[in-house]
Amino acid sequence: MALESNRLKPAKCYALLIIDASVGFTDPQDSPLGMRADDAIAAIQRLQQAVQARDWPVYFTSVVYERPDQQAVFREKLPALNVLSAGSALVEIDPRLNATPPAEVIVKTAASGFFGTDLAERLAADGVDGVVVTGFSTSGCVRATAVDALQHDFRVIVPREAVADRDPSAHSANLYDLNTKYADVLSLEETLARLAD
């Protein structure tokens, strides 16, 4: 039997979370983690403009490893993560997105943007009660961040066109599951309309 799911009430103030939109995830030619992301990047650009027009905060995350002992088990399971080392061009935010201030970049080592970072504290200080989670990949760091956002009591939107995954079936399955239990998975246009209210 399928679970019944309700839409969340709109937040008063949203932050845009752009998860791992680094070159390592958006360049399928030079990175083993890369995927085709042009459509998602274009959707994120539109969301960034909408959020910044409201003077709401924008946070990027980037996975960066400085030492071999950081997330050693995660990296053992997924050795391709080892390309995301400090100083590599692969950890830089995709140049198609504007990561200059007032946008902020949070360095992380785990899947969730909240784990081992001060993201929750920053959002609380900004007066945020909702987040729009975008980026890469849907089945990994986007999902982990969206679940943790809900667990920190933020209202969560995941715009389907603003996330992507290397595996289309994993992308679809995770969006379905997120919408059922953790977030409102909306179209880009529905998300923009909610941000404009």
CATH class of the region 14-196: alpha beta
Whether the CB-CB separation of 157 and 150 falls below 8 Å is answered with: no
pLDDT (tens digit per residue) in 70-101: 999 999 999 999 999 999 999 999 999 999 99
What pLDDT, on the 0 to 100 scale, is given for residue 1?
58
Residues in Cβ contact with 183 at an 8 Å cutoff, skipping those fewer than 6 apart: 8, 133, 146, 149, 150, 156, 157, 158
Whether the CB-CB separation of 76 and 104 falls below 8 Å is answered with: no
Can you tell me the distance from the alpha carbon of 175 to that of 71, in angstroms, rounded to the nearest whole number? 26
Taking 80 as the threshold, does the pLDDT of residue 174 lie above it? Answer: yes
Whether residue 13 lies in the annotated active site:
no
The active-site residue out of 111, 141, 178, 183 is 141
Q: Report helix, strand or coil for 14.
A: strand
What are the domain boundaries of the chain? 14-196
What pLDDT, on the 0 to 100 scale, is given for residue 4?
74
